[in-house]
């Protein structure tokens, strides 16, 4: 069974899930395409239907200013967070180094 067949089976048995899935896909497309107008249109035209997506859209409306900043900006702190995680893991592995210079040399190796 393909993913599309599985989705079609779910959509026929649970029509409410189809609306939630379409909203989810539209939200993902608006964010990944950095399209603030599509995002605003999505959260303003959404009609509540008693699903979990109602709470998601409500939260997005509440934080609309901040979410729009993320949608319009291509900047991310992901690379820095990844580097911090590597350094913390190295710090745990190198616990007990007598010379901190060796620890800093290992960090320099990670940065390359």
The structural domains of the chain, with segments of one domain joined by +, span 3-72, 78-111
- The predicted structure's pLDDT at residue 61: 95
Per residue in 25-81, pLDDT (tens digit) is 999 999 989 999 999 999 999 999 888 899 999 999 999 999 999 888 888 888 899
- Global confidence as pTM: 0.66
* Whole-number pLDDT of residue 42: 93
Q: Is the pLDDT of residue 96 over 80?
A: no
The answer to whether residues 15 and 49 touch, using CB atoms and an 8 Å cutoff, is: no
Look at residue 57 in the predicted model and tell me its pLDDT: 94
The contacts found for 47-54 with CB under 8 angstroms, 24 or more apart, are 49/16, 49/19, 49/20, 50/16, 51/16, 51/19, 51/20, 52/20, 53/19, 53/20, 53/23, 53/24
């Amino acid at each position: 069974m393909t993913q599309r067949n599985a989705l079609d089976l779910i959509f026929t048995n649970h029509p409410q899930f189809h609306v939630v899935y379409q909203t989810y896909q539209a939200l993902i497309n608006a964010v990944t395409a950095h399209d603030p107008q599509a995002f605003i249109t999505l959260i303003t035209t959404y009609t509540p239907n008693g699903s979990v997506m109602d709470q998601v859209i409500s939260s997005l409306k509440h934080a609309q200013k901040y979410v729009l900043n993320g949608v319009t900006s291509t900047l991310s702190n992901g690379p820095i967070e990844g580097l911090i995680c590597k350094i913390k893991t190295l710090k745990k592995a190198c616990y007990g180094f007598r010379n901190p210079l060796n620890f800093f040399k290992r960090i320099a190796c990670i940065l390359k």
